[in-house]
Amino acid sequence: MNPLSLNNYKQGIELASGMFNDLAFGYATQWKALHPDRRIIGYMPIYIPREIFHAHQILPVGLFGAGDRIPVVRGDAFFQSYICHIPRTVIECALNGNYDHFDGYIFPAICDVIRNLSGIFRVNFKDKYIKYLDFPQNFSADIGGVFYRTELDRLSSDVGKLNGTTATVESLNHAITLYNTNRHLLRALDDFRMESPHIISAVDYYLIRRAGAVLTIEDYNQFLQSMTDFAKTIVKEPEDKIRVVVSGAFCEQPPLGLIKTIENAGCYIVDDDFQLGQIWLTKDIPDDTDDPMGALVDAYLNDSIHSSAVFEGDRPKGDQLAKQVRDRNADGVIFCAPSFCDPALLDRPLLERAMDKHHIRHSGFQYHENLGQFHVIKEQAGTFADMIKLWE
Ligand code: SF4
């Protein structure tokens, strides 16, 4: 099915669901068949500046693990038991040959697990380009900015050599325009869903955004526009559910069954951090400058979204989460993090305390991407919803 020739909402969800389940990355394979001289680069969560890859005519593809869709046989041998699950399915997929048509991998600096995974890939896939992309935790232009600029220039030079291309001012500005459009489209769909969460189910909404990890930005923008237009024609009655913000699931993704369970338990998810990298930058990046790489650096330093993977500086994350709850007119927060996820779980007590300070109800649990039983979570989320409906 072509993302550019959808006739209705249902077709779009089928397309997105097909791509979600396709661990062989058929769309990327077809893209490469059409562009045999170009490269495909896989990237791990959360955020990478995909504009640079577009400027080099490279297809960036998000690697979000494989959930419960493959058994982990060899992946467990690389990691101790007390870490999260996503690196196990990523290495399992790589060893199984699912990424054989990829030319390289980017591992953004989120945590030690990702750093170690980059080392494992470096040792096991010597013929591929491997980049551990470091991000500044200092947000001064003359310290973190200089550091980040060096990282991005090196990245651009590396992938340029790999692909035989140079990122020009024009090609970078054009890529920035496309990704600015993308963020607008995502926000428009998000605003619609916040107003009408009963129209697009949480799972559908997840699948729509997840398609952005696979499609070219041109196809994804078209897809988002079509899905927003289709969604606005749907007529459905809202149910008696509370509105929640889900926080903590920015890297290893929850199983679709878990997302469905939260909603079925009586909670409309009106905001989440499932595909955070796509909306990492909160404002348009200038797309007509002589220094587009500098514009990408400035945007990261000044307009990044709050996240547990980033030092909060003078922007307390708890206050930002409270603002998110108010802006979304949400009734509470569900902290939903992968087991053993250090960034999310180390932040959780601070965020919970902040929610208490702001008199915002919250509940929390952990998951792993291949979780198959949801009844405990259903009871917990259902009780949370009932408590708010009956006593608030
Ligand atoms: S789930 Fe958490 S601990 Fe695991 S790789 Fe991602 S950020 Fe790191």
3-state SS of 276-314? HHHHCECCCCCCCCCCHHHHHHHHHHHHECCCCCCCCCC
Final residue before a domain boundary, out of 111, 146, 167: 167
User: Would you say the CB of residue 343 lies under 6 angstroms from ligand 1?
Assistant: yes
Query: pLDDT (tens digit, 9 = 90+) per residue, 166-218?
Result: 999 999 999 999 999 999 999 999 999 999 999 999 999 999 999 999 999 99
Same domain? 152 vs 191: no
Residue 117 gets the label, from left (phi > 0), alpha (psi -120 to 50) or beta, of alpha
Is a pLDDT exceeding 60 seen at residue 1? Answer: no
Average pLDDT over the chain, rounded to an integer:
95
User: Would you say the CB of residue 44 lies under 6 angstroms from ligand 1?
Assistant: no
Final residue before a domain boundary, out of 235, 264, 281: 235
By residue range, what is the domain housing residue 105?
Answer: 38-167
User: In a 3-state reduction of DSSP, which class is residue 298?
Assistant: helix
Tell me what pLDDT residue 2 has.
66
Same domain? 263 vs 326: yes
Decide: 272 and 186 in contact? Cβ < 8 Å. no
Same domain? 19 vs 48: no
Which amino acid appears at position 336 of this protein? C
Same domain? 163 vs 49: yes
Same domain? 258 vs 383: yes
Final residue before a domain boundary, out of 142, 167, 192: 167
Tell me what pLDDT residue 3 has.
66
Same domain? 126 vs 267: no
Tell me the best of 114, 273, 310, 347 to mutate to test the pocket of ligand 1, counting ligand atoms within 8 Å of each CB and taking the most: 114
Tell me what pLDDT residue 306 has.
86
User: Would you say the CB of residue 347 lies under 6 angstroms from ligand 1?
Assistant: no
User: Would you say the CB of residue 114 lies under 6 angstroms from ligand 1?
Assistant: yes
User: Would you say the CB of residue 252 lies under 6 angstroms from ligand 1?
Assistant: yes
Query: pLDDT (tens digit, 9 = 90+) per residue, 123-160?
Result: 999 999 999 999 998 999 999 999 999 999 999 999 99
Query: pLDDT (tens digit, 9 = 90+) per residue, 357-369?
Result: 999 999 999 999 9
Same domain? 89 vs 70: yes
User: Would you say the CB of residue 84 lies under 6 angstroms from ligand 1?
Assistant: yes
Same domain? 124 vs 79: yes
The structure's pTM equals 0.96
Q: How confident is the model at residue 311 (pLDDT cuts 50, 70, 90)?
A: confident
For residue 172, give the CATH number of its domain: 1.20.1270.370
Same domain? 146 vs 45: yes
Domains held by the chain: number: 3
Same domain? 350 vs 257: yes
Query: pLDDT (tens digit, 9 = 90+) per residue, 38-60?
Result: 999 999 999 999 999 999 999 99
For residue 154, give the CATH number of its domain: 3.40.50.11890
Query: pLDDT (tens digit, 9 = 90+) per residue, 85-117?
Result: 999 999 999 999 999 999 999 999 999 999 999
User: Would you say the CB of residue 202 lies under 6 angstroms from ligand 1?
Assistant: no
14 CA distance to ligand 1 middle (Å): 29
Count of residues in the chain: 392
User: Would you say the CB of residue 337 lies under 6 angstroms from ligand 1?
Assistant: no
Same domain? 260 vs 295: yes
Same domain? 228 vs 311: no
243 CA distance to ligand 1 middle (Å): 27
